[in-house]
Structure 1
Amino acid sequence: MSPPIKISHFEQLKASGDLPSPKGAALAIIRLTRKEDLSLAELARVIKTDPAFVGRLVKAANGVAISPGRPIASVQEALMVVGLPAVRNMALGFSLLSNYRSGGCEHFDYERYWSGSLVMAIVCQGLGRRLRCASPDEMFCLGLLARIGELALATLFPREYSEVLVEGRARDADELIAMERKAFAMNHRELTAAMLADWGLPVIYQEVAYHFEAPLGAAFGEESREAKILDALCLAHEIAQLCLADPAARPALMEHLSPVADRTGMAPEALDTFIEEVTREWTEWGKVLQVATQRFVEPVHAQAGAAGTAKSTRPGEAPPCVPPASGVSMRVVVVERDAKVRATLRGVLERAGHRVFESDDGRHGMELALEVQPQMMLVDAHMPGVGGIALTRALRQTRIGRSIYILLLTSREDDERLIEAFENGVDDFVTKPIRSRVLAARLRAGHRVIRLQQEVERDREEIRRFAAELAVTNRRLQEVALTDQLTGFRNRRYAIDRIAQEWSASMRSRRPLSCMVIDIDNFKQINDTYGHDVGDAVLRQAASAIKLGLRSQDVVARTGGDEFLVLCPDTDLRAAMHCAERLREAVHGARVSVSRLNLRVTISVGVAERDASMPDADAMIKRADQGAYVAKAQGRDQVATVQQRVAGAAEAASAVEPTDGGAVPQVPPRETANSK
């Protein structure tokens, strides 16, 4: 069921080069993950060139790691946990977030867009774990990119889309879709699906992203995997709206949220807990990604007035919560076939201030435990079907169940039966008939154990937070070590490592690789005449113009005082010459205004492509450097290459007409730069 997308129109938009697309290291990561013979070591080397992505990948890996042991700290460990498809999608999503934080669409709220997308990503990841409908990391990326069509329209048509947004403020969603189609020949839902398809995301994610804003139009089977993912994305969108809303508007939004949550099998109490977890993780991710977030002060159902007077303790309903003497209220699941015994247990637990959830069946009790995630359970040992010991054994095999304190309710103290119970994971037992004082003492003992576990977990969290802060500091130091502080470009050290990687990749894949050496014309004269402050301003202005002229896959570094190196993967000589000419024109059209001076800056660019005669990357750079020398000798403000010329000492010295009669592909001489 492919979405009705006009591919030809999308291809026209894609050809414009303005669609949001991955850049830099993210693009290299995406390309690598498409190789059939890719090794994790090779991918790890490329990932390490982007310290920010390293931190995000490690954080994501720790978020889905099953083992509660030491945190994942290395790139290769993280790769093994999340897998190559998720790494590829993360690189895509995080690259877009980093490069499209702002734009020229006046009435498109970029900050709100990314903040909401981040909530959707976290919710989808959590629901992926709960519903087991897809990989949690792939679900994270689906949530992050599910509304990318909106960002694309804001990027492609900033003025027109701003007008559509203003006019559509008072309209409903269907009318806004119609306005988009009328203005741009396609709407943001169609554009989202087309972009996900172009990036290689599975068809199931393309279709779900297309339908989630109007789920009634999706013809998925009721219990199908597609339907579960669609429900998860719909719930993620509703929770994102709730998180971004003003506190006063949240109770009304809950009316829309609860029915959607019901479709995922999530009860109101579990939903409160889930949203608290989401907002906590939202805040943590917000710090890493520098995205605006906010925290809830109390559960959303409490804000909506849903938790104040509930008296029933059926599954999913919250009983009156009276703070216990210890100051900590627990979620307690009671699984007992006898209604009278359940009533007795409920009374003791509620008087202690705990929230109680009931079940009369072992199988349903298992489902309730996984949904509610209680701190304690009281289970009947002799239930028909799944008894208390079997239920305990099954729970201990799950990540959630391993941390639950379980009290076994038994009518006889049979030594062998009790030994079997403890060996299967029971923490303590209470005999029937229930004696309230004995039960209360057992609960207090269990509560002490739970508190100790929580303290240990808090200590672990502090250690993890410290490790994350240390990792951030290390990444920042590494970033500083590889970045030129004046221009913001990468520095020579980074360029040396990167060109070696690109050279090796080009040799293996037999794909073209080109480079450019760029010199700012008359830079020494500018420095000598006006001083280094003006020279620095010229460098910054030239760097800004160069950055605007680069393509998404190009890599630029400042390698000397007035010298820049640009690597052009998958680019032959002719294409590199066109790209170099675009850079030259971008710099030529710029003006530097500083200290009441208005200077025009120009550059000379030498271009070279890897060929069989070059033993290594240095030879290619040297060939490009010779081209820059030719450009300067012919009047500056030029693009030139010597690759089609016969090499020779006289040629290098004179840099005039080719001795072999071949033409040098270059632009005609233009007016040279001056210092006025």
Structure 2
Amino acid sequence: MGSTIDIRTFEQIKASGDLPSPKGSALAIIRLTRQDDVSLAELTRVIKTDPAFVGRLIKAANGATVGGRRKIASVQDALTVLGLPAVRNMALGFSLLSSLRSGACKAFDYDAYWSGALLTAVALQAVAQRIRTVPPDEMFCLGLLSRIGELALATIYPDAYGELLTLLSASDDGDLAASERTAFAMDHRELTAAMLADWGLPRLFVEAAALFEVPERAQWPADSRQRQILDALRLADAIRQTCLADPSGRAERVAWLYPLGERLGIDPDGVNALCDGAIESWVDWARLLKMPAQALPPMTTPVPAMGPRSTSGAAAEAAKSPSMVAASRLRVLVVDADPAVRGLLRGMLERAGHDVFEADCGRQGMELALEVQPQMMLVDAGVVEIDGLSLTRALRQTRIGRGIYILVLTEHGDDECLIEAFDNGADDYVTKPVRPRLLAARLRAGHRVIRLQQEVEHDREEIRRFAAELAVKNRRLEEAAMTDPLTGFPNRRYAIERMQQAWASAQRSGRPLCAMVIDIDAFKQINDTHGHDVGDQVLCQISAAIKHALRAPDMVARTGGDEFLVLCPETDLEAALHCGERVRQAVRAARVSAGEVVLSLSISAGVAQSEAHMPDPDALIKVADQGAYLAKAQGRNRVASVQSGVCADAIRQGLAGQHVGMKGTQVYADGAVSPTVLNERG
């Protein structure tokens, strides 16, 4: 992964206490998310102590949702969408942003640093939504922290780093990393990687942050996950540089983005859309964080300044997507060494209403073709540096060049020369000296072909849009088919699929797997006494109590009228019994309101752990079901297991309730056996 900081050097820096690190509630969140048995309710409580982080978390969750999902409005829903790794990393990143908005390094622009980091974060999140290699919310965190080494050096060595930045600002070709190594025996890339590794970020992220500025050092295959993450970060950082560049140089930088996008399978229109979306999100985030940011013109409409090579007055539209240009107006590039010929052609084309760009040699023609993406080119076969046929052949090997209508200007009209022109990719030809009427007819023919291509592309875009809409509708139908409409929990069908997946994973890894079957005690009595409407309200409120008491990795589904199934991956029987007892206590403590009726309810739960002799997940559920029957037989309001090998007394230490011992079983119990009406008016 290239050079790294000596571990002793890093430990010394860390021990000094000057290294940027999370503080306050962020530190509590990070520590809590590293616990295996943390519950969503407990994590939510800690997060709510920091209202600013709550707003940022919910905004990030909404930024990660795609496909028409409903807006996230609560901390618990945000946690479900983002997952614990992303929440931990966001707490880290936003804590650093809040505590290090300014510092002692006078030459370091803290506002510009964080504004750029935020732009990289939203751009990387947008890229991740396209390539689907890593969850977008986690990539957001990588983008936010990808250059944290610069901030760290400004924090640790404020005076020396300020002097270094001042010297570099006066030099046009200064190498920041090389200067940092000379001054501090490390550079910001190495320090970034060391800090991210120390904070527990995935190794893939650590390596990407270390190498995205020097991608030539990466040895990963082009189609590997590591390379995709690296290229995604390179593209996001290039978007940052493009958006923050001086307006006069922004159009040129936009062209640099397209090859990076192509590596990830994103075409120029997609790159433009990514930039526009990132800018919009960046402005929203900056408003929330009270940071400097400015709305920029869309990348599909670059600033007019295109440099001296652009001779048309319509250069402002030069880089627009073909779909955005009227069918009657084309971008045409003329490549010819003779100024008189270029003038003749330009006059004809501009009178026909087209935008014209000129190049006097093949090399300049290639550069301008990639920059302005013309729809038609007129190329002199004998142009210098790169001849016209070689230029045509080279363009046909690029994605952009394959769609250009190329008309070759040749002084030789014999069959062999024309065959060679067509073999190299020409669409048509005109012999010199140019006859205006014949050229106009050739241009009209080319115009018809281009218009047909535009119609085909429009049809393809419509098909893609319909396909995307259909995919969204199918996804919604699939979610509906997997969801219990009353409680919002996954249903039995979803639970069976998840159980199959978890079973296969546990078999491969040898890790424990537990299942819990939960029944609401005397639920039929509630329906018979108070009616099914009250029964539905009871189910909803008991479901909420169960969900809040479970741990983040657990999955709960409603599998029957009053029956729930909980899947506890990588959990042994002892921990699952702990979890079941926490759920039982939460339900018992809940006061269920149904109109004017307030009920106190209980559950009976059975817990089981997978064993080597069990042939399939159905056997595991059956053993858990036997535990639930045992709990009911022993008087209800209990958590029981028919499996032996767990010390019940040790488990129950510090937990409320009465232990009922049976040979080969573990049982938690606590009193009541039927719903109790606490209050009923009327």
What is the aligned counterpart of 2:123 among 106, 115, 120?
120
**Cα distance in 2 for residues equivalent to 1:122 and 1:658:** 54
Indicate if the aligned counterparts of 1:13 and 1:19 stay in contact, CA closer than 8 A.
Answer: no
More displaced stretch, 258-267 vs 378-387: 258-267
Find the partner of 2:140 among 147, 153, 168: 147
**What's 1:442 paired with?**
442
Any conservation in 2 of the 1:266–1:371 contact (CA below 8 Å)?
no
- Which one of the candidate residues 232, 235, 238 is aligned to 1:232? 235
Tell me, yes or no, if structure 1 residue 203 matches structure 2 residue 206. Answer: yes
2:320 is aligned with 1:319: no
After TM superposition, the structure 1 stretch with the greater mean CA deviation from structure 2, 406-415 or 115-124, is 115-124
> Which SS does the other structure have where 1:356 is aligned?
strand
Which amino acid is 1:669 matched to? D
Where in structure 2 are the equivalents of 1:244-323 lying within 5 Å? 255=246, 258=249, 262=253, 265=256, 277-278=270-271, 280=273, 300=298, 306-307=303-304, 312-314=308-310, 319=315
Shift in Å at residue 145 of structure 1?
3.9
Aligned match for 1:137, one of 103, 108, 131 = 131
The range that moved more, 417-426 or 635-644, is 635-644
Q: Against the structure 1 CA distance between its residues 622 and 373, is the aligned structure 2 distance closer, same or farther, given a 3 Å change threshold?
A: same
Kindly provide the amino acid, as one letter, of the partner of residue 307 in structure 1: P
1:561-618 deviations in Å (ceiling 9; x for gaps): 1111111222221222222233333333433333133333432221100112323322
Q: What does 1:18-29 align with in structure 2 at a 5 Å threshold?
A: none
TM-score, normalised via structure 1 length: 0.62
Aligned to 1:669: 670
1:55 Cα offset (Å): 10
2:553 paired residue number: 553
Whether the 8 Å contact between 2:392 and 2:425 is mirrored in structure 1 is yes
Contact 1:123 1:278 (8 Å CA) reproduced: no
> 1:334 touches 1:358 (CA, 8 Å); kept in 2?
yes
1:581 aligns with: 581
Conservation of the 8 A alpha-carbon contact between 2:235 and 2:257: no
Residue deviations 1:205-230 (CA, integer Å, cap 9, x gap):
23479xxxxxxxxxx55987799876
Partner of 2:586, secondary structure, is helix
2:676 partner SS? coil
Conserved? CA contact 1:311–1:320, under 8 Å: no
- Residue 374 of structure 1: how far off its partner (Å): 2.2
- What's the counterpart of residue 16 of structure 1? 32
- Output the CA distance in 1 between the equivalents of 2:125 and 2:249: 18
Matched, 1:590 2:586: no
Range with greater deviation from structure 2 (398-407 or 499-508):
499-508
CA distance in 2 between counterparts of 1:314 and 1:93 reads 52
- CA deviation vs aligned residue, 1:143-201 (integer Å, no higher than 9, x gap): 7644327999xxxxxxxxxxxxxxxxxxxx979x98xxxxxxxxxx9999459963442
How far off is 1:536 after superposition? 1.1
**Deviation (angstroms), 1:463:** 2.2
For 2:381 and 2:585, locate their aligned partners in 1 and report how far apart those are by CA, in whole Å. 81
**Match in the other structure for 1:480:** 480
Distance 1:455 1:278 in 2: 22
Report if aligned partners of 1:311, 1:319 keep a CA contact under 8 Å in 2. Answer: no
SS of structure 2 residue aligned to 1:407: strand
Describe the SS at the equivalent of 1:399.
coil
Quote the Cα distance in structure 2 between the aligned partners of 1:594 and 1:93: 28
Partner SS, residue 675 of structure 1: strand
5+ residue gaps, structure 1, are 24-52, 57-91, 127-135, 153-172, 179-188, 210-219, 243-252, 286-290, 647-654
Partners of 2:128 and 2:139 within 8 A in 1: no
Spell out the pairing of 1:341-490 with structure 2 (5 A cutoff): 341-490=341-490
Cα pair distance change 1:428/1:479, threshold 3 Å? same
Q: Secondary structure at the match of 2:333?
A: strand
Q: Deviations over 1:473-530 (max 9, x none)?
A: 3332222222111111121122223323332332333322110001122322222222
Aligned-pair CA distance for 1:336:
2.5
In the alignment, the residues of structure 2 paired with residue 504 and residue 667 of structure 1 have an alpha-carbon distance, to the nearest angstrom, of: 30
Residue in structure 2 matched with residue 618 of structure 1 by the alignment = 618
Tell me, in whole angstroms, the C-alpha distance in 1 between the residues paired with 2:593 and 2:559.
25
**Which is higher, the Rg of structure 1 or of structure 2?**
2
The secondary structure found in structure 1 opposite 2:412 is coil
Please give the secondary structure, in 2, of the residue aligned with 1:232. helix
8 Å Cα contact 2:523-2:535 kept in structure 1: yes
**What is the letter of the counterpart of residue 140 of structure 2?**
R
In structure 2, relative to structure 1, the CA distance for the partners of 1:474 and 1:549 (3 Å cut) is: same
Q: Are the structure 2 counterparts of residues 570 and 468 from structure 1 closer, same or farther at C-alpha, using a change threshold of 3 Å?
A: same
2:662 aligns to what?
A: 658
1:382-412 CA distances to partner (integer Å, 9 max, x unpaired)? 2344322222222223332222111112122
Superposed, which structure 2 residues align to 1:639-650 within 5 Å? 639-644=639-644
Query: Hey, what's the Cα distance between the residues in 1 that align with 2:569 and 2:582?
Result: 17
- Over 3 Å counting, the alpha-carbon distance change for 1:401 and 1:525 in structure 2 is same
Identity of aligned residues (%): 47
**Partner residue of 1:534?**
534
Identify unmatched segments of 5+ residues in structure 2: 40-63, 68-78, 96-114, 156-191, 219-226, 279-283, 286-294, 647-658
How many Å separate the matches in 2 of 1:316 and 1:590?
A: 74
Cα distance in 1 for partners of 2:277, 2:299 equals 23
* Structure 2 contact 333–358 (Cα < 8 Å) conserved: yes
CA contact (8 A) 1:334 1:379 kept: yes
> Contact conserved, 2:275 with 2:299, CA < 8 A, in 1?
no
Rounded Cα–Cα distance in structure 2 between residues aligned with 1:559 and 1:590: 22
> Following the alignment from structure 2 to structure 1, what is the Cα–Cα distance between the partners of residues 677 and 120?
48
Distance 1:396 1:150, change over 3 A: closer
Taking a change above 3 Å as real, the CA distance of residues 393 and 151 of structure 1, as seen in their structure-2 partners, is closer
Counterpart-to-counterpart distance in 2, 1:423 and 1:355:
28
- For residues 259-306 of structure 1, the C-alpha deviation after alignment (integer angstroms, 9 at most, x for no partner) is 596397469xx9xx9986556579999xxxxx99xxxx99648988x4
Taking only aligned residues, the RMSD between alpha carbons, in angstroms, comes to: 5.5
1:571 paired residue number: 571
- Alignment check: 8 A CA contact 2:396 2:425 kept: yes
Counterparts of 2:36 and 2:429 in 1: how far apart (Å)? Answer: 60
User: What do the CA deviations read for 1:38-90 (whole angstroms, capped 9, x no partner)?
Assistant: xxxxxxxxxxxxxxx9998xxxxxxxxxxxxxxxxxxxxxxxxxxxxxxxxxx
- Determine if contact 1:407/1:428 at 8 Å carries over to the other structure: yes
Aligned in 2, Cα 1:469/1:611: closer, same or farther, shift over 3 Å?
same
Which residues of 2 match residues 40-119 of structure 1 at below 5 A?
Answer: none
Does 423-432 or 627-636 show the bigger shift?
A: 627-636
Question: Distance in 2 between the 1:411 and 1:344 partners?
Answer: 16
Task: Give, in whole Å, the separation in 1 of the partners of 2:204 and 2:389.
Answer: 44
**Which residues in structure 2 correspond to 1:507-546 (within 5 Å)?**
507-546=507-546
Distance change in 2, residues 1:499/1:353 (3 Å): same
Return the letter of the residue paired with 2:499. Answer: I
**SS at structure 2 position matched to 1:386:** coil
Instruction: String of CA shifts for 1:606-632, please: whole Å, max 9, x gaps.
Output: 110011232332221121112222333
TM-score (norm 2): 0.62
Evaluate the alpha carbon distance shift between residue 495 and residue 346 of structure 1 in structure 2; reply closer, same or farther with a 3 A threshold: same
Deviation at 1:2, TM superposition (A): 6.4
Structure-2 separation of matches of 1:334 and 1:20: 66
SS at match of 2:670: coil
Matched ranges for 1:1-12 at <5 A: none
| 2:506 aligned partner, one-letter code | S
Q: Which moved further from structure 2: 417-426 or 595-604? A: 595-604
- Equivalent-residue separation in structure 1 for 2:493 and 2:215 (angstroms): 56
Count of residues in Structure 1 that have an aligned counterpart in Structure 2: 523
